[in-house]
């Protein structure tokens, strides 16, 4: 303990920890939001080339990634509002303690790292989920087609064992067989059910991924409420 105990509890460099906490909170939270938006948005825009009418429905991962930046902003504002400048009436002595600085640094790290982890989860789930939905939704549309190339090849192979007359007749029938067939109503109904199931599953995974950042924000706000200030009475008693 030094001759002036207030310098040990409230040194001039104590606010550095609070500002670093704000920096880490906003930067890591924004980076997590950017990663989630980039990863999921790339898959959404790729799918919108074939099905532009479904782009608004699949924007959920991008929206939830953007909310991560809001969580980080909230914690950063709470930390900044609890910081105080040096007291000009008391020889510019700082009232911001090391205890408060460590608490604000922990709050910023807690929220920032949580938002970064949530952004990685949301981006991965959104990317894979959108690709799976796009695959099944393409086959469920009325204009979806399936290749029957292998069926035509087998049909031509079977006609080689028949007589010349029947072979010619089979060749004509095989030539008249279209290379593309419309998906049956049963297959279309099954594909639509698969799309709905995949979408519901993706939403559930996105919600729990977003909860990671929400937990970090709640704990960050709790930590930022830890206070110990070196007020004028503390300085007068110490001197």
Tens digits of residue pLDDT in 55-103: 888 889 999 999 999 999 999 999 998 887 776 566 656 778 888 889 9
Q: What is the pLDDT of residues 153-209, one digit of tens each?
A: 555 555 555 544 454 554 444 444 444 455 556 665 666 677 788 888 889 999 999
Read off the pLDDT of each residue in 3-22 and give the average, rounded to a whole number. Answer: 77
Which of 35, 236, 229 is CA-nearest to residue 121? Answer: 35
pLDDT average, residue stretch 34-54? 86
Neighbours of 31 (CB within 10 A): 18
pLDDT band at 53 (very low <50, low <70, confident <90, very high): confident
The helix/strand/coil state of 13 is coil
Across-strand partners of 82? none
CA atoms within 13 A of residue 162's CA, in its CB half-sphere: 13
Q: How far apart are CA 223 and CA 206, in angstroms?
A: 26
Q: Are 29 and 109 in contact (CB under 8 A)?
A: no
Q: Tokens representing 136?
A: 């099944």
Nearest Cα residue to 195 out of 239, 236, 138? 138
Residue 60 CB coordination number (10 Å): 20
Task: Name the CATH superfamily, with its identifier, for domain 5-140+203-238.
Answer: lithium bound rotor ring of v- atpase (1.20.120.610)
């Amino acid at each position: 303990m030094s001759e002036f105990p207030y310098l040990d509890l409230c040194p001039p460099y104590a606010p550095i920890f609070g500002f670093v906490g704000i920096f880490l909170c906003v930067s890591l939270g924004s980076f997590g939001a950017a990663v989630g938006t980039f990863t999921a948005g790339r898959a959404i825009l790729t799918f919108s080339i074939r099905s532009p009418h479904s782009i608004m429905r699949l924007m959920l991962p991008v929206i939830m990634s953007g909310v991560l930046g809001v969580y980080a902003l909230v914690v950063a504002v709470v930390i900044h509002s609890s910081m105080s400048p040096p007291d000009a009436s008391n020889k510019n002595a700082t009232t911001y303690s090391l205890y408060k600085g460590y608490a604000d640094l922990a709050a910023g790290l807690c929220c920032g790292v949580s938002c970064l982890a949530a952004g990685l989860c949301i981006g991965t789930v959104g990317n894979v989920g959108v690709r799976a939905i796009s695959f099944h939704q393409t086959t469920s549309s009325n204009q979806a087609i399936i290749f029957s190339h292998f069926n035509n090849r087998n049909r031509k192979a079977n006609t080689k064992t028949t007589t010349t007359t029947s072979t010619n007749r089979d060749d004509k029938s095989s030539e008249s067989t279209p290379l593309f067939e419309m998906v049956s109503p049963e297959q279309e109904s099954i594909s639509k059910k698969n799309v709905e199931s995949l979408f519901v599953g993706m939403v559930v995974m996105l919600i729990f991924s977003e909860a990671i950042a929400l937990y970090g924000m709640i704990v960050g706000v709790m930590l930022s409420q830890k206070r110990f200030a070196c007020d004028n009475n503390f300085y007068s008693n110490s001197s």
